Amino acid sequence: MGSAVEQNVRAITVADRLRAQGISRRGFLKFCASTASLMALSPAMVPAIARALENARRPSVIWLSFQECTGCTESLTRSHSPSVESLILEQVSLDYHHTLQAASGEAAELARETAMQENQGKYLLVVDGSIPVKDGGVYSTIAGITNVDMLNEVAAGAAAIIAVGSCAAFGGIGHARPNPTGAMPVSEIVTDKPIVNVSGCPPIPTVITGVLAHFLTFNKLPDLDDLGRPLAFFGQSIHDRCYRRPFYDKGLFAESFDDEGARKGWCLYRLGCKGPATYNACATTKWNQGTSFPIEAGHPCLGCSEPDFWDMGSFYRALSIPTEDTTRTLVYGVGTGAVLGAAAAAVARSRKSKAKAAHYKVSVNDLEEST
């Protein structure tokens, strides 16, 4: 980590590394197409991505884990394999990661300090977990350093920060009432750096690597929504992209988990689904290699990618009158069905109209012709 040899490795471009791994030109273009898809970019962007990756250097990544359950790292390590996600992870120099690194004790801290010194102003900082600030931050320390001090120290030399998971993005479960440790999100502590929030408890691995891919390719963060989340993945509600939506539009709802509606796969709105007020890519990207997502498994969306979802009341109580800002203020009450549901959909559509992103499938043969 951080040696002269490692520096030379970083001078090699991403395209060089892929070639060294035995990936052909056709494979490289496929990688670029998959990267475009991962970033939810148009296929028209693929030639530009290919050119950018021909010159892209391997960035140093320092990953800090604070108050969290390690679900975010579990999610990341469940990226499909072999996959574009795992390839992307091989293209960054993950110089410090509490859970994944082999080093421990002083050697681990030395790796962090070395990576910071050698990549001052250029490294990417990834944070998962909330940061406790009450009582001087004593409730969580690493190597004798409080989380808040370590965050401030590492953030000072970072080019940008990715707050992975709802804990780092919005405070998450640590921030839930009564918040005994004074847990805060990254953005309330670091205010002078570009920050992207990849929320979700845990976040979708494809979204984490999609943001990494964007930084790797363009050396900047992607376009964000008003909560600092990448628009490409958070621009539309779960409800807008849910395969159960046609049942909702027809007013066909499951009323309990074992009734006829549930067996027929009808809409879970009345069982507490927060899909109309939740912005994330679960309904399209899905989980476990695109196998399924909670609603497909018969469970309502909990709204885990929205701020303060733990404190909003029961996961199983239907959304009540949606407000213009439902992503920030979920008002729960007794669901009254399609009328209120239609209002929720209208709010969701209004948000959708602001979103620019779409997911594309790309044919490698098309790409070879266009480059």
Residue 68 binds ligand FSX, judged by CB under 6 A: yes
Rounded distance between C-alpha atoms, residue 312 and residue 269, angstroms: 16
Residue 167 binds ligand FSX, judged by CB under 6 A: yes
Site residues (CB under 6 A) for ligand FSX, limited to 286-315: none
Rounded distance between C-alpha atoms, residue 262 and residue 256, angstroms: 7
Rounded distance between C-alpha atoms, residue 371 and residue 367, angstroms: 6
Maximum distance among all alpha carbons in the chain?
Answer: 65
Give the count of beta carbons closer than 10 Å to the beta carbon of residue 26. Answer: 12
* Least gap, CB of 325 to ligand FSX (angstroms): 22
3-state secondary structure of 57: strand
* Least gap, CB of 128 to ligand FSX (angstroms): 3
Between 121 and 178, name the residue whose CB sits nearer to ligand FSX.
178
Residue 85 binds ligand FSX, judged by CB under 6 A: no
Residue 341 binds ligand FSX, judged by CB under 6 A: no
Q: Are 126 and 100 in contact (CB under 8 A)?
A: no
Residue 70 binds ligand FSX, judged by CB under 6 A: yes
Q: Which stretch binds ligand FSX (CB under 6 A): 160-168, 176-184, 263-271, 329-337?
A: 160-168
Residue 278 binds ligand FSX, judged by CB under 6 A: no
Q: Which stretch binds ligand FSX (CB under 6 A): 36-44, 87-95, 159-167, 213-221?
A: 159-167
* Least gap, CB of 129 to ligand FSX (angstroms): 5
Rounded distance between C-alpha atoms, residue 213 and residue 106, angstroms: 31
Could you tell me the CA-to-CA distances from 132 to 167, 180, 194 in Å, in that order? 11, 9, 21
* Least gap, CB of 173 to ligand FSX (angstroms): 5
Site residues (CB under 6 A) for ligand FSX, limited to 94-123: none
Task: Please count the residues of this chain forming the interface with ligand FSX, following the rule CB under 6 A.
Answer: 14
Residue with smallest beta-carbon separation from ligand FSX: 71
How far separated are the first and last CA of the chain, in Å rounded? 36
Rounded distance between C-alpha atoms, residue 344 and residue 335, angstroms: 11
Between 118 and 225, name the residue whose CB sits nearer to ligand FSX.
225
Q: Could you tell me how far CA 186 lies from the centroid of its own chain? A: 14
Between 84 and 173, name the residue whose CB sits nearer to ligand FSX.
173
Q: Are 43 and 33 in contact (CB under 8 A)?
A: yes
Rounded distance between C-alpha atoms, residue 155 and residue 124, angstroms: 9
DSSP per-residue string spanning 318-344: PB-S--TTTTT---B----THHHHHHH
- Outline where 181-275 has alpha helix (H): 205-218, 231-234, 245-249, 260-263
Between 14 and 173, name the residue whose CB sits nearer to ligand FSX.
173
Residue 172 binds ligand FSX, judged by CB under 6 A: yes
Q: Which one of residues 165, 205, 294, 341 is an interface residue with ligand FSX (CB under 6 A)?
A: 165
Q: Which stretch binds ligand FSX (CB under 6 A): 63-71, 82-90, 208-216, 270-278?
A: 63-71
Q: Which stretch binds ligand FSX (CB under 6 A): 69-77, 103-111, 177-185, 285-293?
A: 69-77
* Least gap, CB of 288 to ligand FSX (angstroms): 15
Q: Which one of residues 2, 185, 202, 303 is an interface residue with ligand FSX (CB under 6 A)?
A: 202
Rounded distance between C-alpha atoms, residue 338 and residue 322, angstroms: 13
Q: Residues interacting with ligand FSX, by CB under 6 A?
A: 68-72, 128-129, 165-167, 172-173, 201-202
